Amino acid sequence: MSTAAAIEQRPLGRTSGLTVPAVGMGTWRTLDVRGAEAERRAHEIVGEALDAGARFVDSSPMYGEAERVLGEGLGERRAEAIVATKVWTSDDDEAEAQVRRALRWYGGRVDLYQVHNLVSWPQRLTRLERERDRGAVVAIGATHYSPSAFGELARVMRTGRISAIQIPYNPHERDVEREILPLAEELGLGVVVMRPVGGGGGLVTRPPDERALEPLREYGVETWGQALLKWVLSDPRCHVAIPATSRPERVRENAVAGAPPWFDDDARALVARLAG
């Protein structure tokens, strides 16, 4: 069976209308490039993600050139992708410009349009709702990376105006377990997981040696990165994890972690202990 066929497909909550692969791809840093050669390599990464079945791809105007590079990398394969992006500004005119640019780059449609870091969220939700009502946006979400903002994120979740959230989750960042994940489950919201292998582009602390992963082989785990992704995705409240990478072989490796079997409680506890 190919990797693309093996990745589990999950409804992104109860109301988004989207079904997503358990593993997608983030674009922070990795697609923020300029120049013919750098952009060619970035387009290769996008193509590799689609080929591997990791076709949920997330970007933002906060990520420099990433939105544009993603759109150009998708090209004629746009219909294969589930594109998530964000609006990120307190300025109404700039918000209009961001939305117009994104729709142009992604063929007139954004599958999941999110308010990045809750910036001016009441106004931005109103703007995105207009695009949803006219069919240019499929679902609306909200994101935040900081536990200090999770109280406000919970308030937005309870408005009934969003279908999905994007939050950090890995063995070192578990604050969402207290309120955000239980509330998302209660409300039927989709959950997109940023930083599933750690923050700042680095892996959560590695286990001492490869022998530590031996008990996880029965779950299809060969690498520490796969163990971390499986740890996240074995929580049924999480629907898609979006690791970023600039290496085609890592895209394929990540995609493998999107297939069952999923960790039981003991396996998740082992990964958490190995993460330190």
Axis-axis angle for helices 92-105, 66-74 (nearest 10): 20
Please say if the pLDDT value at position 114 is more than 90.
Answer: yes
User: Residue 110: which pLDDT band, with cuts at 50, 70 and 90?
Assistant: very high
Q: Are 243 and 23 in contact (CB under 8 A)?
A: yes
**What pLDDT is stored for residue 173 in this prediction?**
96
- The residue with greater pLDDT, 5 or 144, is 144
Mean pLDDT of the chain, nearest integer:
95
The predicted model gives 61-82 an average pLDDT of 95
- pTM, entire model: 0.96
pLDDT in tens, 223-262: 999 999 999 999 999 999 999 988 889 999 999 999 999 9
What amino acid occupies position 25? Answer: M
| Structure confidence at residue 272 as a pLDDT band (50, 70, 90) | very high
Q: What is the pLDDT of residue 15?
A: 96
Cβ atoms of residues 193 and 171 within 8 Å: no
- Is pLDDT at 59 greater than 70 in this prediction? yes
Enumerate residues 6+ apart whose C-beta is below 8 A from 50: 74, 77, 80, 81
